[in-house]
Amino acid sequence: MQKYPLYLLFFCASWMTISCQNKKTENKTDKVKEAMETKQNKSEEEWKKTLTPEQYYVLREKGTERPHTGEYNLKFDKGIYTCAGCGSELFTSDQKFESHCGWPSFDNEIGEGSKIKKIKDFSHGMIRTEIVCANCGGHLGHLFDDGPTKSGLRYCVNSLSLQFKNDTTKVK
């Protein structure tokens, strides 16, 4: 007879947990819509025509490529990294460093905050800072405060969200 109150208590606790998570999901959805309101007014169909399916998954659906698979993870040539969605210049090769995390990492961005938006991200049971292109709203990756350089920052970026422009004129 005492088992029923325990089941009832478990059921109520489970229901409350699920209902709280649904509210978090609604707030997250609102933030995604807010992040995508940018200078680029392309429809999702237009994005699908201009991006590869993999780029679309990362830039528009906030996906993540597998670690150690990206084209730019271990690339250290001189140049500029641009957004694969719109071409906006985001990072220089001088800002790139090897973080051993499996994704391209940068310690700063071009333009001191004007090129990349930072958005609180509560997905996957974590609290992180998502980074998106300020021009087109494309998901780039996440920002962490565990970088080994002076800035203390690590912009952890998906290679699929980037393009690289070689700069052979800058030789240091």
What pLDDT does 111 receive?
86
Indicate the average pLDDT of the chain. 83
| Segments making up each domain of the chain, as ranges | 38-166
Cα–Cα distance, 126 to 116 (Å, whole number): 21
pLDDT digits (tens, 9 = 90+) for 74-118: 999 999 999 999 999 999 999 999 999 999 999 999 987 789 999
Catalytic site residue from 86, 133, 136, 156: 156
Q: pLDDT grade, residue 3 (50/70/90)?
A: low
Residue pair 163/87 in contact by the 8 Å Cβ criterion: yes
**For the chain, first and last CA: distance in Å?**
79
One of 2.170.150.20, 1.10.760.10, 3.65.10.10, 1.10.10.1150 is the CATH number of 38-166, namely 2.170.150.20
pLDDT digits (tens, 9 = 90+) for 129-155: 999 999 999 999 999 999 999 999 999
Alpha helix (H) residue ranges in 37-159: 44-50, 53-59
Sign of CA dihedral 85, 88, 93, 99: negative
Residues in CB range of 70: below 8 A, 6 or more apart: 102, 103, 104, 158, 159, 160
DSSP tag of 53? H
pLDDT digits (tens, 9 = 90+) for 36-80: 555 678 899 999 999 999 999 999 999 999 999 999 999 999 999
What pLDDT does 162 receive?
98
Cα–Cα distance, 84 to 58 (Å, whole number): 10
Check if 156 is active-site: yes
Cα dist. 38→6, 25, 140 in Å? 51, 22, 15
Q: What is the pTM of this model?
A: 0.75
As beta bridge partners, residue 137 has none
